[in-house]
A and B are shown apart, each in its own frame.
Chain A
Amino acid sequence: MSLITTRGLGKHYGKVRALDSLDLTLEAGDPIALVGPNGAGKTTLLSLLCGFIKPSTGSATVLGHAIGSKHLVGKVSALPQDANFDPRISIARQMRLLARLQGMSASQAAHETDRVLDTVQLGDIGLRKPDELSHGMRKRMSLAQALIGSPELIMLDEPTAGIDPPNVKIIRDLIRRESANATFIISSHNLDELEKLCGSVVYLAAGKLVEYGPIDPSADSGYLTIRPGEIDNDGFLQACQSIPGVSSVQLQAQGDFLIRYDKQHTVDQQVLQLLTANGWSYRYLINGRSLEDRLYGE
């Protein structure tokens, strides 16, 4: 049974096709990145899968059940974009309600509330109201509700948008830890972060599926990405181009060199030798391209 299957799934707002006839099958496992420019249909897709909006065309199943099926209660959860708790009621009380709705008894709900708040390192804020928390803490609190009852599928829409690095790290570590128990689908513009967390990527643009495949850069053979330390950029560029098999070398905006080469040659060893010979340092060398280069490169 697939994690998610969509057949001709679409959502139209008048003449605007927010999502256009999407056919997609996703399997459970490593976290799945959902990427694309603004207006690509990422939030629309997640909202459809969560049952927040109705499809205009097509259908979808989640864990073998139709969207909105009662069989999905407790199995599927989400951190919806821009969804907030009631600012007037204590966090623990709201969490307990959600746990009760998932079929837990009052004592189980109280215990589960403590557990998920501890998981996001907010164990001491249960009696506070959401308005008393920072943006990053509120985001973690929203993430905590998605963990109630240990669901099989957790969909996160922009989980780290607009929050500070310490909170980002907490959320990223948590996703990495929890991904042993559940499959995450993470929509984000932060491709570096997705690359670190996810095993595959769904790339949408203008409401259509552009690409779905593994995120592993090594699968993208014929490329090397290197972030140098303090080096002579022009000298390195010219030296690289003279390595047999290298067809092009580009300095990317973020400071990485993208080396394209003929797959029949082994280039990585020669690049390392080149660095050593010239006394140049480097911060990382990736066999393949970064996600950003793969999706938005030439």
Chain B
Amino acid sequence: MPILSICQFEWSRLFLTRRGWLSIAAFVLIWILILVTIIAPAARVVTSELSGLAAIALEALGLQNLSRWASVEMALYWVISLYLLPLFSITIAADQTASDKTRGTLRFLALRTTRSQIFFGRFLGQFTIQILLVAVTIASVLILVGYYSTDKLSGALESTPVVFVNLLLVIMPYVALMALLSVLARSARQATLYAIVAWTIISIAIGVIQSRYGPLPILDWVLPGSQIGNLLRLDGWDTLSLAPVPLLHTAILLFAGWLAMRRIDL
């Protein structure tokens, strides 16, 4: 199937190119830094004083659920990744079609398959790459748990599927967002700038609308990732009650990207 061939080729663009390996190396280095300088030390502090100041602090932040996690490392990973992985996603998925369109490479593909298959094949390729990256980060945390607190490993493993599925749901709309912006941009950098500008403008617009017309709860759900705050207050598979939000964001963004892809000049 063409869509699978394009998806597969997307892996080649990451894993068989120098730029791809640089991205992976940057990701790994940043992740090691987070593990070693934030998660590991913080886990030790929280574990030793969980019943005291830390528990109060978590409660004040609305994160009291974290104190119920079997493994503090996994709990910290959960919080950090919810905010950090979308940033990685935006960076890594920024060049789904932009540079190929500018270079004319997409014309070679468009002669042989539909624009829809190119668009969704690239999205699928990027998303599967991100699945792998999430899996690698979770594995690194599990290794950390096994190293520092072996007795918590089974508890951490138990929470792994919930964390994994939720993180994939969180990053999915970001990959879809970059699929859309990549169609409109001429380069990965421009696509990333579009993301920042769009984010800022929409946030300001929501703020202005709400200040003028009062709170409109629906606007709180407009931006991808708007469910993250609520996710932190839920436990286990209850978190999937929020799954429709990222799935809807993804569907809308992919639809917009697909429409744009069908209309652009190659």
Contacts and interface: CB of A to CB of B under 8 A. Distances in A.
Partners in one complex: yes
Interface of A: 47, 50-54, 68, 70, 73-74, 76-78, 80, 82-86, 88-90, 93-94, 97-98, 100-102, 145
Contact of B108 (A70, A85, A100): A85
Contacts of A89: 12-13, 16-17
Contact of A53 (B6, B20, B266): B266
B104 A83 contact: yes
Interface of B: 2, 5-6, 9, 12-13, 16-20, 100, 103-105, 107-114, 263, 265-266
Given A74-B112, A101-B5, 7 more contacts: A47-B266, A52-B266, A54-B263, A70-B114, A77-B111, A86-B13, A93-B12
Contacts of A145: 108
Contact of A97 (B9, B17, B19, B104): B9
A52 B109 contact: no
A83 B9 CA distance: 19
Nearest to A51: B110
Contacts of B20: 88
A265 to B, nearest CB: 52
Contacts of A50: 107, 110-111
A93 B17 CA distance: 12
Contacts of A101: 2, 5-6, 109, 112-113
Contacts of B19: 88
Given A83-B104, A84-B104, A78 B111 contact: yes
B16 A93 contact: yes
Nearest to B2: A101
A100 B5 contact: yes
Given A84-B104, A85-B105, A97-B5, A52 B17 contact: no
B106 to A, nearest CB: 9
Contacts of B108: 80, 83, 85, 94, 98, 145
Contacts, number: 74
B16 A80 contact: no
Given A53-B266, A93-B16, A101-B5, A86 B105 contact: yes
A202 to B, nearest CB: 21
A53 B103 CA distance: 16
A70 B111 CA distance: 9
Q: Tell me if B's interface is mostly helix, strand, loop or mixed.
A: helix
B170 to A, nearest CB: 30
Contact of A83 (B2, B17, B18, B105): B105
A88 B110 contact: no
In the A-B complex, the 7 residue pairs with the closest CB atoms:
A83-B104, A101-B112, A88-B17, A52-B266, A100-B5, A53-B265, A80-B107
Contacts of A93: 9, 12, 16
- Among B2, B12, B108, the most chain A Cβ lie within 10 Å of the Cβ of B108
Contact of B110 (A52, A54, A97): A52
Contacts of A51: 110-111
A93 B108 CA distance: 14
B103 A86 contact: yes
A101 B112 CA distance: 6
A52 B105 contact: no
Contacts of B265: 47, 52-54
B18 A80 contact: no
Contacts of A85: 105, 108
12 contacts: A50-B111, A53-B266, A73-B111, A73-B112, A76-B111, A78-B111, A83-B103, A88-B13, A89-B13, A98-B108, A101-B112, A145-B108
Contacts of B9: 93, 97
Contacts of B5: 97, 100-101
A94 B5 CA distance: 11
A109 B182 CA distance: 29
B18 A88 contact: yes
Contact of A98 (B12, B16, B100, B109): B109
A206 to B, nearest CB: 21
A46 B219 CA distance: 46
A82 B106 CA distance: 12
